């Protein structure tokens, strides 16, 4: 039987895969497992619950709150806020755990359920497995005054913005910035944060209606932001995804700046301020080879992990590192947050622009991004990648062809039924040709 939890919580089609019944049962199971691990000292447990703006989040959040309260947990409902805000508030108010309802960058019909342990940290696999194992178990229900209470967390938004303002190293006066909130959870928070920090802000993608999240806007659709930056003569643009744990950027010419370039900029800035612990960045194997080369020239060590911000975070915590992230724009600054935070990342990038007086384009030029081709192969057995001899032979042939000028990476998606084929090479044509060749082998060898 497939594991319920994926690389980023439980995710699927809302009201089919992710139902109100499942949300309630997961919440009860989580209350039992996380409650047993909590150092509550016999006091009543408390939890923070938040969501992005999807229509399905309304009934799923209600189910989560009901499940937790029925298990004797006091619930602080933070409403619509970014994922990193819920992680922050879980720690800030001393909650025993937190719950976020979101499917991040996925289309509106999807939704997901993500849990945070005390301190706002993501759960490890063993804890998720323990929660899954206790779904629908028989349990003694509290009655009377022992049932949990549900109350709104009215100042969650303001607490989170105040936190962001407390950690940016340089104010943003003089900068004109376009914010694309993807019609998502950052629609209020991010524009307010940038304005409070002193920027002149133009906002797009900030009219959520429950149905339009990630639809043509945000970090997976940069076109609207690119056009707006050029139209308004802005210094840069910042794009979030639906739950605002990601940040991608656009320079003043409209050119995109990806997560690898952002991490390079921040790594150098943090090293100069003396806060890049052990002079090290943690990134995944999907980061562009150009980033590794650039930071090596800068004398900054880069550690590689499996794909997924949870694996980046695990390595950061184990090694005591302060900066890590993914090419997709999940950037973790561990001194100030326990998860990727798109608003914080955008503020730090803009702060670096303001502090240096250099354009984002100039700052991003620290790395020469190698041409990269990524093909998602659907309709295949994604679990057969490592064990297929013909496929592994094709990969070895491609690696010999590239030599030291590029690289090949095949991996199964952790959240979708597909295999990702990534090739970097000296030219875009070569990268695409090799990636297409390998994708054809994947289709032939792993076809269902």
Verify that 299 and 264 share a domain, yes or no: yes
Number of domains in the chain: 3
Verify that 200 and 99 share a domain, yes or no: no
Query: How far is residue 49's CA from residue 98's CA, in Å, rounded to a whole number?
Result: 6
Domain assignment present for residue 324? The answer is yes
What would the pLDDT profile of 97-143 be if each residue is shown by its tens digit?
A: 999 999 999 999 999 999 999 999 989 889 999 999 999 899 999 99
Q: What pTM was estimated for this model as a whole?
A: 0.91
- pLDDT value of position 151: 98
Domain assignment present for residue 307? The answer is yes
- pLDDT value of position 383: 85
Verify that 302 and 397 share a domain, yes or no: no
Tell me which H or E stretch contains 330.
none
Verify that 150 and 163 share a domain, yes or no: no
Residue 241 assigned as binding residue: yes
Count CB neighbours of 368 within 10 A.
11
Verify that 348 and 279 share a domain, yes or no: yes
Which residue among 121, 154, 187 closes a domain?
154
Domain CATH for 415 = 3.30.310.50
Which residue among 154, 174, 189 closes a domain?
154
Residue 104 assigned as binding residue: yes
Query: How far is residue 157's CA from residue 79's CA, in Å, rounded to a whole number?
Result: 9
- pLDDT value of position 1: 57
Query: How far is residue 273's CA from residue 35's CA, in Å, rounded to a whole number?
Result: 40
Verify that 147 and 182 share a domain, yes or no: no
Verify that 296 and 417 share a domain, yes or no: no
Domain assignment present for residue 1? The answer is no
- pLDDT value of position 2: 72
- pLDDT value of position 266: 98
What would the pLDDT profile of 329-373 be if each residue is shown by its tens digit?
A: 999 999 999 999 999 999 999 999 999 999 999 999 999 999 999
Query: How far is residue 102's CA from residue 60's CA, in Å, rounded to a whole number?
Result: 10
Domain assignment present for residue 3? The answer is no
- pLDDT value of position 416: 73
Q: Are 175 and 233 in contact (CB under 8 A)?
A: no
Q: Is 322 considered catalytic here? A: no
Q: Are strands 150-152 and 74-80 parallel, antiparallel or unpaired?
A: parallel
Verify that 389 and 257 share a domain, yes or no: no
Count CB neighbours of 38 within 10 A.
17
Domain assignment present for residue 426? The answer is yes
- pLDDT value of position 447: 86
- pLDDT value of position 40: 63
* Tokens representing residue 154 in the block: 């009215």
Full domain range(s) for residue 225: 159-364
Domain CATH for 291 = 3.40.120.10
Q: Are 411 and 420 in contact (CB under 8 A)?
A: yes
Verify that 127 and 165 share a domain, yes or no: no
Residue 243 assigned as binding residue: yes
Query: How far is residue 316's CA from residue 47's CA, in Å, rounded to a whole number?
Result: 26
Query: How far is residue 260's CA from residue 312's CA, in Å, rounded to a whole number?
Result: 14
Verify that 256 and 335 share a domain, yes or no: yes
Whether the CA torsion 23, 95, 325, 196 is positive or negative: it is positive
Q: Among the residues of 325-386, which ranges form H helices?
A: 342-356, 360-364
Domain assignment present for residue 18? The answer is yes
Domain assignment present for residue 233? The answer is yes
Computed over every residue of the chain, the mean pLDDT equals 95
Verify that 388 and 352 share a domain, yes or no: no
What is the number of H-type helices and E-type strands within the chain? 14, 19
Verify that 123 and 176 share a domain, yes or no: no
Which residue among 339, 364, 389 closes a domain?
364
- pLDDT value of position 33: 95
- pLDDT value of position 20: 98
71 vs 17, 68, 148, 302, 340, CA distance in Å? 23, 5, 7, 44, 30
Low-confidence ranges of the chain (pLDDT < 50): none
Q: Among the residues of 239-380, which ranges form H helices?
A: 259-273, 289-297, 309-319, 342-356, 360-364
Domain assignment present for residue 4? The answer is no
**Which one is catalytic: 56, 61, 102, 104?**
104
Query: How far is residue 366's CA from residue 298's CA, in Å, rounded to a whole number?
Result: 9
- pLDDT value of position 39: 64
């Amino acid at each position: 039987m497939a594991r319920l939890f994926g690389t980023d919580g439980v995710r699927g089609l809302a009201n089919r895969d992710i139902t109100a019944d499942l949300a309630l049962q997961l919440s009860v199971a989580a209350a039992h497992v996380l409650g047993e691990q909590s150092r509550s000292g016999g006091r009543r447990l408390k939890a923070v619950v938040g969501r992005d703006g999807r229509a399905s989040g309304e009934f799923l959040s209600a189910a989560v709150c009901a499940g937790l309260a029925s298990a004797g947990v006091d619930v602080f409902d933070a409403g619509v806020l970014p994922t990193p805000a819920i992680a922050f508030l879980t720690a800030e108010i001393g909650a025993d755990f937190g719950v976020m309802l979101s499917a991040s960058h996925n289309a509106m019909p999807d939704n997901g359920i993500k849990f945070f342990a005390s301190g706002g940290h993501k759960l490890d696999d063993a804890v998720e497995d323990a929660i899954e194992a206790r779904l629908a178990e028989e349990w003694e229900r509290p009655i009377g005054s022992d049932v949990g209470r549900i109350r709104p967390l009215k100042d969650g938004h303001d607490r989170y913005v105040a936190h962001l303002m407390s950690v940016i190293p340089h104010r943003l006066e003089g900068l004109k910035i376009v914010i694309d909130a993807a019609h998502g959870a950052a629609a209020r928070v991010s524009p307010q944060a940038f304005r409070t920090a002193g920027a002149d802000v133009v906002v797009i993608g900030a009219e959520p209606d429950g149905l339009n999240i990630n639809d043509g806007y945000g970090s997976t659709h940069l076109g609207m932001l690119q056009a707006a930056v050029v139209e308004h003569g802005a210094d840069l643009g910042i794009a979030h995804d639906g739950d605002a744990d990601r940040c991608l950027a656009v320079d003043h010419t409209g050119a995109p700046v990806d997560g690898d370039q952002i991490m390079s900029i921040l790594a150098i800035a943090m090293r100069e301020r003396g806060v890049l612990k052990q002079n090290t960045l943690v990134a995944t194997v999907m980061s562009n080879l150009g980033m590794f080369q650039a930071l090596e020239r800068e004398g900054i060590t880069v550690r590689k992990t499996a794909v997924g911000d949870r694996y980046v975070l695990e390595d950061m915590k184990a090694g005591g590192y302060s900066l890590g992230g993914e090419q997709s724009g999940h950037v973790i600054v561990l001194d100030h947050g326990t998860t990727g935070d798109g608003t914080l990342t955008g503020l730090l990038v803009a702060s670096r622009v303001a502090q240096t007086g250099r354009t984002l384009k100039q700052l991003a030029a620290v790395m020469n991004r190698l041409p990269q081709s990524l093909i998602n192969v659907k309709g295949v057995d994604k679990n057969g990648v490592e064990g297929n001899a013909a496929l592994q032979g094709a990969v070895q042939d491609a690696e010999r062809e590239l030599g030291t000028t590029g690289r090949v990476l095949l991996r199964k998606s952790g959240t979708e039924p597909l295999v990702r084929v990534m090739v970097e090479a000296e030219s875009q044509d070569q990268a695409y040709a090799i990636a297409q060749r390998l994708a054809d082998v994947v289709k032939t060898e792993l076809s269902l």
